[in-house]
DNA sequence: CGGTTGACCAAGT
DNA sequence: GACTTGGCCAACC
């Protein structure tokens, strides 16, 4: 396994700050780092060496879509989200604007 | 050091 | 609604 870069560590750190029952977006995390590297954020989460520690399933697209998930695919991600009272309908977060946590 | 690859985004068709 | 295009940025080869 490769050692995570500073960039990736920052992504994991920010991601771990997302409160339970809330979600954030790749764009928001990138913005928190003062850059627009939303794609790189996604790649960092795909590797995600700190799986249980970092709740990467709370990170979704800017439109409220699910996006992807390395472990088990979107199905598993939706399942995990439902366990935190975040409901997903037709591949979209229900009341996404209400659950979204933009400031970390 | 140039080209390809993504858990992306926005605008156009 | 879906599909395509161009842009974006770090990691990888």
Per-residue pLDDT tens digits for A22-44: 999 999 999 999 999 999 999 99
Note the CA–C1' distance, A78 to C5, in angstroms.
30
Average pLDDT over residues A57-81: 95
A46 touches strand B (CB under 7 A): yes
State the pLDDT at residue A21. Answer: 96
Residue A65 approaches strand B within 7 Å at CB: yes
The residues pairing with A23 across neighbouring beta strands, listed in sequence order, are: A100
Closest nucleotide C1' to the C-alpha of A37:
C9
**Residue written as token pair 């979209």:** A92
A103 — pLDDT class (breaks 50, 70, 90)? confident
Strand B contact with A57 (CB < 7 A) = yes
Q: Which nucleotide is nearest to A47 (CA to C1')?
A: B7
Q: Is A56 a catalytic residue?
A: yes
Whose CA is closest to A97, among A41, A46, A24? Answer: A24
């Amino acid at each position: 396994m490769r050692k995570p870069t500073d960039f990736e560590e920052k992504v994991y750190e920010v991601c771990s700050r997302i409160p339970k029952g809330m979600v954030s977006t790749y764009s928001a995390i990138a913005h928190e780092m003062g850059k627009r590297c939303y794609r790189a954020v996604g790649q960092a989460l795909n590797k995600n060496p700190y799986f249980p520690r970092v709740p990467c399933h709370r990170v979704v697209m800017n439109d409220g879509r699910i996006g992807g998930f390395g472990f088990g695919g979107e199905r598993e991600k939706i399942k995990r989200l439902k366990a935190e009272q975040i409901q997903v309908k037709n591949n979209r977060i229900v009341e996404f604007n209400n659950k979204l946590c933009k400031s970390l």
